[in-house]
Amino acid sequence: MKVDQTKPLEYSTEQNNLNILGFWMFLGAEIMLFATLFASYFTLEGRTGSGPSGSEIFEITPVIFETFILLTSSFTIGLGVHAMRLMNKKATIAFFSITLLLGLAFVGFEVVEFFTYIEEGAALQTSAFTSILLSTLGTHGAHVTFGLFWGLFILIQIKKRGITPETANKSFIFSLYWHFLDVVWIFIFSFVYLKGMM
Amino acid sequence: MDFFDRFAIPHPSPVIYASMVAIALTLVAIVAGVTYTKKWGYLWREWLTTVDHKRIGMMYLISALLMLFRGGADAIMMRAQTALPENTLLDSQHYNEIFTTHGVVMIIFMAMAFIMALMNFVVPLQIGARDVAFPRLNALSFWLYFWGAMLFNISFVIGGSPDAGWTSYFPLAGNEFSQSVGTNYYMIAIQIAGLGTLITGINFIVTILKMRAPGMKLMKMPMFTWSALITNLIIVFAFPVLTVALAMGTIDRLFGGNFFTTTDGGMDMLWANLFWVWGHPEVYILILPAFGIYSEIIPTFARRNLYGYKSMVASIVLISVLSFVVWVHHFFTMGQGAMVNSIFSITTMAIAIPTGIKIFNWLFTLWKGKITITVPMLYSLGFIPIFTIGGVTGVMLGMSAADYQYHNTMFLVAHFHLVIIPGVVFAMLAGLTYWWPKMFGFMLNERIGKLSFWLISIGTCVAFFPMFISGLDGQARRMYTYSEATGFGIWNMISFVGAIMLAAGFVTIVYNIYYSTRYASRDISSDPWDARSLEWATHTPVPDYNFAITPQVNSSEAFWDSKKNGHKLFPGNYKEIHMPNNSGVPFIMSAIFFVLGFALVFSIWILAVIALLGIFACLAHRSFEQDHGYHIPVEEVKETEEKLGGARQ
Ligand code: HEM
Ligand SMILES: [Cu+2]
């Protein structure tokens, strides 16, 4: 494996470069995925049938919490990548752990939110609006949940193998994923919750 | 027993029972054959676990040919049923199932696989690379496609085939009107195969952007590689839309969602929109690689550079952009209003401009060329006029006001077959014949190949031209029969004759493969067509590592330059070569996807959860695995090169 010392560790090998570009392409596909969900959401938003509308079920407090938690986690993973570039293994592990814990808290809030919706009579089957609402939120939430496991695996690898070109590459890519989910959430926050509550 | 009732066929017939027996016997025969010849180990080591782009290409190829025959059998049955008025060969339900599976199999499992086959085999060679960027993901792509196709194909013996058309419009495809599990198969099998396609898209974009031989600037790439790049970009941007649409359809069908229903706010037109936002780019995913293949073959056999390289590139790019803004033309009649229809009419007709540019460029390349008529060239020459007819009728369909007359008639069916067959099928057969010697080390027989060409091209015209007439006379598509008084009988009879010719043509192709495998000379050069691009610069058969020394490129036809102008293609000495390891995980993981799909189709939730956990286990395994590949030492490279006929200049 040829290691190029002039570049940050995560870019230092040929394969690492390919991986990062590949992941950007994947994010391109993810953008289309969420764009399709949003477009469908806007189309079906008003079609509530006999079920509740957004303004009837959305509650601002938990959403603010979720937003705050996820934004913070994006910040901490940024710090984690920074620590990784300084080859500080301990700090990297610490920041990644905080990120994952915040992610876990986010998922916890979201699960509670889902149960509340269902209790209030807004299930997947209730109307076109609830179908698309829960699918959009659920897709994002599933991504975060998947990320928890993925991040955990990487964390274990850093712990066992140290900061190597490989683990650095994985962590960096994971951070891209995490930031991306944050951006999606900002869209959800603005165009699903805020717009729906207005 | 209740549990097993769900697997019964809702609408059985002797033919289906016969197929069940046939499938079972074939499976037993395959297993017995492999066991008897003690080939399990070989099969596993060399094929099921391979990550070599060339072998993956070959597996795509075999699958595509099998699917061609599956889809072809459907086609013959349809044409036989409609050959006579009031025919009773098939009843309406069977007819519905057959036109649905025909469409899906041909587009998703045949055409796409054929394209993947040639792209996999050719693109890394054309850019002088050792493999694709992510060899293991490439294997995953293939196996997801393969198991998706398997899932789709078992539908007609287990649980019933989908019957709502390859477009699967809701509410017809919803639970109310499609009660069998058929449409579940549609939603889930295509999802699995589509995932594989998306992964290929990412893989090839990175490969082409990052792994080109030194000196090969973007504007020096061979045209097939260009078309592959753009095609894969379309894939990455179009397939997620299908993913979402299929997921919504699945939620509606399995969990009682209300996306596309007619109650509780559901919106059936959302499906039509999402489907075609993917579907129209999809037809360009099919046609662009074909354009790329013709752009390789025509210069080779006209002995001239491709005319208008830059305009060729520009027109592919333009087509790819336009392909995303025309989707409404598939449902002009479904209530958008004049304004929207007019806009989409204009964008639709605009696509004809870059397409026309390409046609003229090919004609100018031929102009004053020293043309040799080989089988690949024949297909290319046949493509131009037939495709033009298909394209011009497309422009007619694109005029929204006129489309009220044409829509959903046989006229439309004639249009798309006359673009897809010369576009995709001819190109694939041309590419197959052209690259066959590189793949397998012998050439296909030219005389049988010419016979196939004439049968297929005349068959295409005979089968589909009459549909223009019967369509304008008002024959609706997807009708299983019609009365004698309509006068459609004669046109459909002619079509049937054409279909038989087409079928005969495909049989001769298989015969050609058999015949050439037995009798063709193995003593051919590594560049039998005197071609221009890098894939011909390496040995035949291509060694595992493709090129012993990375080629150095200076123009868009570097190999030609090295032959004619003394350009040194392979400077330097042998070095050790890094290669990826084989892996069984892609195969296993995709097989679990099949189980997951099957469980979902029949709502067997426990099995679905177990399968899902299995998939996660594979992912976790991959995350922790450390696999740095292996190195081929210099001596071994030298030895291989000498065995294959000496070093390359
Ligand atoms: C000049 C270029 C083309 C134009 C203007 C065009 C236009 C159209 C229009 C307007 C329709 C819808 C007609 C209707 O439903 O009434 C249509 C259908 C179709 N076209 Fe084209 N087309 C073009 C090229 C192609 C190509 C290159 C392909 C494939 C390789 C293709 C494949 C199809 C298919 C599969 C359908 C029918 C789908 C269905 O309803 O089942 N077209 N085309
Ligand atoms: Cu279209």
Strands B577-579 and B630-632, bridge-based pairing? antiparallel
The DSSP-derived string for B426-488 is: IHHHHHHHHHHHHHHSSPPPHHHHHHHHHHHHHHHHHHHHHHHHHHHTTPBTT-S---GGG--
- The residue-averaged pLDDT of B513-540 equals 91
In chain A, beta strands by DSSP E: none
- The residue-averaged pLDDT of B260-283 equals 95
pLDDT of B1: 54
**Does the model's pTM come out above 0.80?**
yes
Residue B157's contacts (CB-CB under 8 Å, 6 or more residues apart) are B9, B16, B19, B20, B23
Nearest residue to A63 (alpha-carbon basis) of A110, A11, A10, A123: A110
Residue list, CB under 5 A from ion ligand 2: B 280
**B474, B409 Cβ separation under 8 angstroms:** yes
pLDDT of A198: 79
End-to-end CA distance of chain A: 56
Q: Identify which ligand lies nearest to the alpha carbon of B412.
A: 1
Angle, helix B338-366 to helix B268-302, in steps of 10 degrees: 10
pLDDT of B540: 85
**B580, B131 Cβ separation under 8 angstroms:** yes
pLDDT of B462: 97
pLDDT of A143: 97
Integer Cα distance of A160 and B548 in angstroms: 37
The structure tokens listed for B103 are 């469409």
CB atoms inside a 10 Å sphere around CB B28? 10
Q: Is B240–A127 a contact, with Cβ atoms under 8 angstroms apart?
A: no
Nearest residue to B428 (alpha-carbon basis) of B118, B107, B120: B118
**Nearest beta carbon to residue B134 from set A22, A49, A132:** A22
The DSSP-derived string for B577-636 is: EEEPPP-SHHHHHHHHHHHHHHHHHTT-HHHHHHHHHHHHHHHHHHHH-----EEE-HHH
**B272, B221 Cβ separation under 8 angstroms:** no
Integer Cα distance of B201 and A22 in angstroms: 10
Buried b (16+ CB within 10 A) or exposed e, B464-487: bbbbbbbbeeebebeebbbeeeee
Integer Cα distance of B419 and B396 in angstroms: 14
Question: Which range has highest mean pLDDT (B204-213, B331-340, B530-539)?
Answer: B204-213
pLDDT-above-90 percentage for chain B = 81
pLDDT at residue A73 tops 70: yes
Taking one residue from A and the other from B, the number of pairs with CB-CB distance under 8 angstroms is 114
pLDDT at residue A1 tops 80: no
Q: Is B623–A153 a contact, with Cβ atoms under 8 angstroms apart?
A: yes
All residues of chain A having their beta carbon less than 8 Å from the beta carbon of residue B236 are: 25, 28-29, 32
pLDDT, tens only, B94-126: 999 999 999 999 999 999 999 999 999 999 999
Nearest residue to A132 (alpha-carbon basis) of A197, A56, A33, A38: A38
The structure tokens listed for A150 are 């993925």
The structure tokens listed for B196 are 């594989």
**Surface-to-core class of residue A53, CB atoms within 10 Å of its CB (0-12 exposed, 13-18 middle, 19+ buried):** middle
pLDDT, tens only, A141-193: 999 999 999 999 999 999 999 999 999 999 999 999 999 999 999 999 999 99
pLDDT of B597: 97
Residue B165 CA: which ligand 1 atom is closest? 41
**Nearest beta carbon to residue A124 from set B205, B240, B251:** B251
CA dihedral B389, B390, B392, B396 (to 10 degrees): 130
pLDDT at residue B387 tops 90: yes
Q: Identify which ligand lies nearest to the alpha carbon of B403.
A: 1
pLDDT of B102: 96
> Which residue has a Cα nearest atom 43 of ligand 1?
B394
- The residue-averaged pLDDT of B163-170 equals 94
> Which residue has a Cα nearest atom 7 of ligand 1?
B394
End-to-end CA distance of chain B: 70
- Give the distance from CA B569 to its chain's centroid: 33
Q: How far is the CA of B348 from the centre of ligand 1 (A)?
A: 9
Query: CATH number for the A57-197 domain, one of 1.20.120.80, 3.40.50.20, 3.90.650.10, 1.10.3720.10?
Result: 1.20.120.80
**B129, B546 Cβ separation under 8 angstroms:** yes
Angle, helix B112-126 to helix B427-440, in steps of 10 degrees: 50
Q: Which of A23, A125, A129 is best to mutate for the B interface (most B CBs within 10 A)?
A: A125
Q: CA B438 → CA B174, B208, B452, B527, B535, distances in Å?
A: 47, 21, 21, 8, 8
pLDDT of B567: 83
Q: How far is the CA of B220 from the centre of ligand 1 (A)?
A: 32
Integer Cα distance of B86 and B602 in angstroms: 36
- The residue-averaged pLDDT of A15-24 equals 95
pLDDT, tens only, B276-327: 999 999 999 999 999 999 999 999 999 988 899 999 999 999 999 999 999 9
Map tokens 């690949």 to a residue.
B376
Q: How far is the CA of B318 from the centre of ligand 1 (A)?
A: 17
- The residue-averaged pLDDT of B589-610 equals 96
Q: Which sequence spans correspond to the domains of chain A?
A: 57-197
Phi, psi (rounded to 5 degrees) for B578: -85, 130
Q: Which of A26, A36, A139 is best to mutate for the B interface (most B CBs within 10 A)?
A: A36
**B61, B117 Cβ separation under 8 angstroms:** yes
Q: Which of B137, B258, B550, B612 is best to mutate for the A interface (most A CBs within 10 A)?
A: B258
The structure tokens listed for B477 are 């598509």
Q: How confident is the model at residue B649 (pLDDT cuts 50, 70, 90)?
A: low
Angle, helix A14-44 to helix B182-210, in steps of 10 degrees: 140
Nearest residue to B528 (alpha-carbon basis) of B453, B435, B452: B435
The number of CA neighbours under 13 Å toward the Cβ of B4 is 1
Nearest residue to B581 (alpha-carbon basis) of B621, B548, B538, B626: B626
pLDDT at residue B47 tops 90: yes
Q: How far is the CA of B280 from the centre of ligand 2 (A)?
A: 4
Q: Which residues pair with B476 in a beta bridge?
A: B409
The structure tokens listed for A106 are 């986010």
pLDDT, tens only, B465-515: 999 999 999 999 999 999 999 999 999 999 999 999 999 999 999 999 999
DSSP code at position B163: -
Q: Which residues pair with B256 in a beta bridge?
A: none
Q: Is the CB of B406 under 6 A from ligand 1?
A: yes
Q: Is A40–B244 a contact, with Cβ atoms under 8 angstroms apart?
A: yes
**B191, B243 Cβ separation under 8 angstroms:** yes
Phi, psi (rounded to 5 degrees) for B632: -90, 120
The DSSP-derived string for A39-86 is: HHHHHHTT--TTS--HHHH--HHHHHHHHHHHHHHHHHHHHHHHHHHT
**A50, B227 Cβ separation under 8 angstroms:** no
Integer Cα distance of B194 and B246 in angstroms: 10
pLDDT at residue A2 tops 80: no
**B173, B249 Cβ separation under 8 angstroms:** yes
Among B3-12, B60-69, B396-405, B612-621, name the one with the lowest average pLDDT.
Answer: B3-12
Tell me the ipTM for this assembly.
Answer: 0.95
**Nearest beta carbon to residue B210 from set A18, A124, A157:** A18
pLDDT of B647: 63
Q: Identify which ligand lies nearest to the alpha carbon of B324.
A: 2
Q: How far is the CA of B234 from the centre of ligand 2 (A)?
A: 14
Residue B3's contacts (CB-CB under 8 Å, 6 or more residues apart) are none
**B288, B323 Cβ separation under 8 angstroms:** no
